[in-house]
Amino acid sequence: MPEYKAILFDMDGTLVNTEPLHEEAWHQTLDPFNINLSEDWFNKYTGSTDRVLINDISKQYQIHLDVDELLEKKRNVFLKLAQTRSQVFGGVREGLERLSKIYDLALVTSSSRKGAVCVLEAVDLSKFFKTTITFDDVEKHKPDPEPYLKAINYFGIMPQDCIAVEDSFSGSKSAKTAGCYTIGVLNSVEADKLESADRIFESTKDVMKFLVGIHHQNDRS
């Protein structure tokens, strides 16, 4: 394997099991409109921004929604849930502890800055990342490559020096288009949704074992 310099991680659904919290926040937000969306419906938007989701709801149900007001309400509900119910996936904390001593680590998320800070503080992961790129830091969002390119530029390295870890179609496409070696993890979607990824693992724990193993493999070669 090439000797990589940085690993760029998605957050929601990759490191932290927050996708169920986002879904619950949406249900609470949309209940007054008698809109009850299925889990499969939400899964289609894994990795997308909240604005894309609410705009599609408005079109599909042919109702006028105050998008900015609903986005603010949903975000506030999510922040309350995230403060007490955010949980990392197995192997995350131990993996980041080891990897942060070997590579530069960055977080590249479609969450807002406020949301990312809330989740990272709740699970005590912020100390592992040298930079965090959020929804608020870019003009174009996943699946556009801009979020990953911004993280790459922060480190002043080339895309081929980076590994990206993602759990969604839009995220893996963003990372792959940016030029990263892209790893997909099946926490949120089926394997066929991660066709942009170079390699796919069943769990984040398996990803962490692989990433630590790359370093050891290169040390022996």
pTM over the 0.75 mark: yes
Higher pLDDT pick, 179 / 216: 179
- Cα gap 83→181, rounded to integer Å: 32
Q: Tell me the mean pLDDT in the region 79-107.
A: 97
CATH of domain 6-17+87-220: 3.40.50.1000
The length of the chain, given as a count of residues:
221
> Residue ranges of the alpha helices (H) in the chain?
19-30, 39-43, 50-60, 67-85, 92-99, 113-123, 146-155, 169-178, 204-220
CATH of domain 19-85: 1.10.150
CB-based contact 170:146 (threshold 8 Å):
no
The pLDDT value given to residue 217? 62
The pLDDT value given to residue 33? 86
The pLDDT value given to residue 64? 78
Tokens 């419906």 correspond to 41
Domain-by-domain residue ranges, the chain? 6-17+87-220, 19-85
Closest CA to 31 of 84, 86, 83, 77: 77
Can you name the residues that pair with 162 across neighbouring β-strands? 6
Question: Residue 221 pLDDT > 60, yes or no?
Answer: no
Question: Residue 165 pLDDT > 80, yes or no?
Answer: yes
Confidence of residue 177 (pLDDT cuts 50, 70, 90): very high
Higher pLDDT pick, 28 / 219: 28
Burial class (CB in 10 A: 0-12, 13-18, 19+), 136: exposed
Confidence of residue 128 (pLDDT cuts 50, 70, 90): very high
> CA 98 from chain center: how many Å?
20
